[in-house]
Chain A
Amino acid sequence: MPDMSKKNPTSRESWIRNRMFHKVPFNVAVIDRDYNIVDANERFAEHFGEWRGKKCYAAYKKLKEPCAQCNSLKVFEDGKTRVIDEVGIDLHGRQTHYVVHIAPLRRAPDDPIEYVLEMSSEVTETKRWQQEYQILFDRVPCYITVIDENYRIVRANESFRENFGDVIGQNCYKVYKRRNTKCPHCPAARTFKNGGVYNSTQHGIDKKGQDITYRVTTSPLTRGGEKVAHVIEISTDLTDIKKLEQDVIEAERLGAVGQTVAGLAHSIKNILMGLEGGKYIVSVGLQKDDKEMINQGWEMLERNFDKTTTLVKDFLSFSKGRLPELQMVNPNDLAREIVDLYRDTCAQSGIKLTADLVPTIKKAPLDPDGIHTCLTNLVSNAIDACQMGEQKGTEVMIRVREVRGKLVFEVADNGSGIDYEIKQKIFTTFFTTKGGMGTGLGLLTTRKIVQEHGGKIIVESKKGQGARFRMEFPRSRLLTLFENAGNHENKN
């Protein structure tokens, strides 16, 4: 091609403009009022095929009639430039997406519009990604909203809209919680303040008025360094999970009731056996005219009737609950009593029983009988655990400690240990081979007594590695209980 640029500046300019028209990275077409394509660049031809003699709708969309909503006609009418999304059919018959920039062409500013210039850029791939992201945004199984600095929702995904309605422009606190003011401890407020990511579990109300529980994460929607203008809130609905947890708790509670009944049945069976035995012995005594047997049988009957009364009282007292009878006592003394009580039993079984005490420990308001029962249960369990295994050198240790304002009693053993499943049930079941209390209430009673003292009991154990039961009593609660019962520490 001859180099015209140096010889003739006008030709050069014309040549450059011509090349520019063909090489710009858009499909460029010039349309008249009758939809005729009067000119188009090379790129347009490469994309849509031969255009000469064709109407724009035929070239762009392979239609035989003008489009129902023709934007070019609108530009002819009002002279305003438009940017629109369009879908067309390319040379190969593929559906393609475009962003089209339509501008009026006049010879002079006040002249009528002779043509419109259509510059289209293919965005099929971008559009596909956009659609995919939109689907992802809408369908993810969590609620997503974008809020502005005034806590107004500017975007919300489909999952959110389904559950909270169409709420664009409303305040998030109004929508989530039906409040008229911002929520206290709002995680989004913290994100606005310092751009951090925060999590929080919240309770709200959906559009049907149902209570929901959700876990929300707030993140800044900003580019690095800029002030946070929007916050994205992503919430996971925990309502079903919480309900399941409640169901499990309820099932466990019912299970515990069932096990309590089973424990009660066990005690009753022993009493029944005593009554049957008494009846049998009286009967044999009468047959043989053996007064001694009759007396023996009668005593058995009386004893087992008494046991029934005691059992019923025990269970009633257990189910009713009671306030502990608190006295200022030295916790070490309670531990020593238990060591004295079990010294012989342990010695016979080759178990080392020790007490690890802090001599300076302060007195505490405790129900000595209640704590005695707890320690008896725990120590007899620990001894049993030591006897279950065959290992030598078994040991049971009672520790009394003061840990951060809490009085702690601990019973540890290196016996057979408790596996996880049993640990879950240990405070509610009667499956233990131990019947320390006679009524089979064992650890359930221990937990109850500890709770009545405002404390809690914790078990740490792995099968084969011993167990450690820890009763923790916050001193402040013990004191409150003590004072509520009309006592003062200095009186004792």
Chain B
Amino acid sequence: MSAKILIIDDEPDVVTYMVAVLKSNGFTPSSTTDPNLGLKMAAEVRPDLICLDIMMPEKSGISIYTKLKKDRLLGSIPVLIVSGVSRQGEFDFRSFVSDTSIPPPEGYLEKPIVIDQYLQLIRDLTSTNLSLKRGKATDA
């Protein structure tokens, strides 16, 4: 079964692009450009990975991230931040989220993405998560 990826980004073109890339490479993407629906969709889809933008109008990506990681059921889903905020200098996770009980995101990619790098990161993160899921299933 192919990994399910949820994309939350307010830029429709970014979403279209990532969906096209993921579909062409054997993943099952779902998406929303409405950040207010992000958490609801995550609960419905139960994806193996969430690609999240952190700079969106109306609802902050950080706020979605914080709620995701605090959620008992959704907290273990790895999150790949895909953002225009450059990692060097500007994006300091702890300056956004000082609550140390919330872990930093599993992955970070700066826009515009490089497809090979994007896919590799998604494979790495989903394989880890899938093997963890399988492990949990075996334990149970």
**CB–CB B57/A296 < 8 A:** no
Given the complex of chains A and B, what is the CA–CA distance between A284 and B62 in angstroms? 33
Assuming the contacts A267-B84, A383-B58, A435-B55, asked whether A272 and B112 have C-beta atoms less than 8 A apart, the reply is yes
One of B13, B55, B57, B59 near A304 (C-beta < 8 A): B13
- Can you sample 29 A-B contacts with CB below 8 Å? A262-B90, A266-B84, A266-B85, A270-B14, A272-B111, A272-B112, A273-B13, A273-B17, A273-B84, A274-B14, A275-B112, A277-B20, A280-B17, A280-B21, A280-B115, A281-B16, A284-B20, A345-B36, A345-B58, A380-B57, A384-B60, A387-B59, A387-B60, A388-B60, A388-B62, A388-B63, A431-B90, A434-B55, A436-B57
A382 at the A/B interface (Cβ < 8 Å)?
no
Given the complex of chains A and B, what is the CA–CA distance between A435 and B61 in angstroms? 10
**CB–CB B62/A435 < 8 A:** no
Query: Which residue numbers of B lie inside 8 Å of A, CB to CB?
Result: 11, 13-14, 16-18, 20-21, 24, 36, 54-63, 66, 84-86, 90, 95-96, 110-113, 115
Which residues of the other chain, A, contact B85 by a CB distance below 8 angstroms? 266
**CB–CB A269/B110 < 8 A:** yes
**CB–CB A273/B11 < 8 A:** yes
**CB–CB B16/A434 < 8 A:** no
* A294-334 with Cβ < 8 A to chain B: 296, 300, 303-304
Given the complex of chains A and B, what is the CA–CA distance between A293 and B16 in angstroms? 11
One of A265, A275, A433 near B55 (C-beta < 8 A): A433
**CB–CB A274/B55 < 8 A:** no
Across chains A and B, which 6 residue pairs bring their CB atoms closest together, nearest first? A277-B17, A274-B13, A269-B84, A433-B60, A266-B84, A273-B112
Which residues of the other chain, B, contact A267 by a CB distance below 8 angstroms? 84
A487 smallest CB distance to B (angstroms): 34
B95 smallest CB distance to A (angstroms): 7
Q: Which residue of B lies closest to A258 (CB)?
A: B89
Given the complex of chains A and B, what is the CA–CA distance between A431 and B94 in angstroms? 12
Which residues of the other chain, B, contact A383 by a CB distance below 8 angstroms? 58
A169 at the A/B interface (Cβ < 8 Å)?
no
- Interface size of A in residues (CB-CB distance below 8 Å): 37
Q: Which residue of B lies closest to A345 (CB)?
A: B58
A47 smallest CB distance to B (angstroms): 76
A276 at the A/B interface (Cβ < 8 Å)?
yes
Given the complex of chains A and B, what is the CA–CA distance between A281 and B13 in angstroms? 11
A466 at the A/B interface (Cβ < 8 Å)?
no
Which residues of the other chain, A, contact B13 by a CB distance below 8 angstroms? 273-274, 277-278, 300, 303-304
A348 at the A/B interface (Cβ < 8 Å)?
yes
Given the complex of chains A and B, what is the CA–CA distance between A265 and B55 in angstroms? 13
Which residues of the other chain, B, contact A274 by a CB distance below 8 angstroms? 11, 13-14, 17
* A208-227 with Cβ < 8 A to chain B: none
A440 at the A/B interface (Cβ < 8 Å)?
yes
**CB–CB A269/B112 < 8 A:** yes
A441 smallest CB distance to B (angstroms): 12
Which residues of the other chain, A, contact B96 by a CB distance below 8 angstroms? 433
One of A304, A384, A431 near B95 (C-beta < 8 A): A431
Which residues of the other chain, A, contact B11 by a CB distance below 8 angstroms? 270, 273-274
One of A275, A277, A430 near B16 (C-beta < 8 A): A277
A438 at the A/B interface (Cβ < 8 Å)?
yes
User: Would you call the interface of chain A mostly helix, strand, loop, or mixed?
Assistant: helix
Assuming the contacts A265-B84, A277-B17, asked whether A435 and B57 have C-beta atoms less than 8 A apart, the reply is yes
**CB–CB A384/B63 < 8 A:** yes
Which residues of the other chain, A, contact B24 by a CB distance below 8 angstroms? 284
Given the complex of chains A and B, what is the CA–CA distance between A267 and B55 in angstroms? 10
**CB–CB B16/A387 < 8 A:** no
Q: Which residue of B lies closest to A285 (CB)?
A: B20
B110 smallest CB distance to A (angstroms): 7
Q: Which residue of A lies closest to B62 (CB)?
A: A433
A84 smallest CB distance to B (angstroms): 73
Which residues of the other chain, B, contact A269 by a CB distance below 8 angstroms? 84, 110-112
Q: Which residue of B lies closest to A342 (CB)?
A: B58
With A274-B17, A433-B60, A435-B55 known, 20 other A-B pairs at CB within 8 A are A266-B84, A270-B14, A272-B112, A273-B17, A273-B84, A273-B112, A274-B14, A280-B21, A280-B115, A281-B17, A303-B13, A380-B57, A380-B58, A384-B58, A384-B60, A431-B95, A433-B63, A433-B96, A435-B56, A438-B57
Which residues of the other chain, B, contact A349 by a CB distance below 8 angstroms? 36, 59
One of B17, B36, B66 near A276 (C-beta < 8 A): B17
Which residues of the other chain, A, contact B60 by a CB distance below 8 angstroms? 384, 387-388, 433-434
* A402-439 with Cβ < 8 A to chain B: 430-431, 433-436, 438
Which residues of the other chain, B, contact A273 by a CB distance below 8 angstroms? 11, 13-14, 17, 84, 111-113
Given the complex of chains A and B, what is the CA–CA distance between A269 and B96 in angstroms? 21
A251 smallest CB distance to B (angstroms): 16
Which residues of the other chain, A, contact B115 by a CB distance below 8 angstroms? 280
Given the complex of chains A and B, what is the CA–CA distance between A278 and B13 in angstroms? 8
Given the complex of chains A and B, what is the CA–CA distance between A267 and B84 in angstroms? 7
Select the residue from A265, A266, A275 with max chain B CB neighbours within 10 A.
A266
Which residues of the other chain, A, contact B110 by a CB distance below 8 angstroms? 269
Which residues of the other chain, B, contact A284 by a CB distance below 8 angstroms? 20, 24
**CB–CB B20/A281 < 8 A:** yes
Given the complex of chains A and B, what is the CA–CA distance between A277 and B62 in angstroms? 25
One of B16, B90, B95, B113 near A296 (C-beta < 8 A): B16
* A11-49 with Cβ < 8 A to chain B: none
Which residues of the other chain, A, contact B17 by a CB distance below 8 angstroms? 273-274, 276-278, 280-281, 300
Which residues of the other chain, B, contact A270 by a CB distance below 8 angstroms? 11, 14, 84, 111
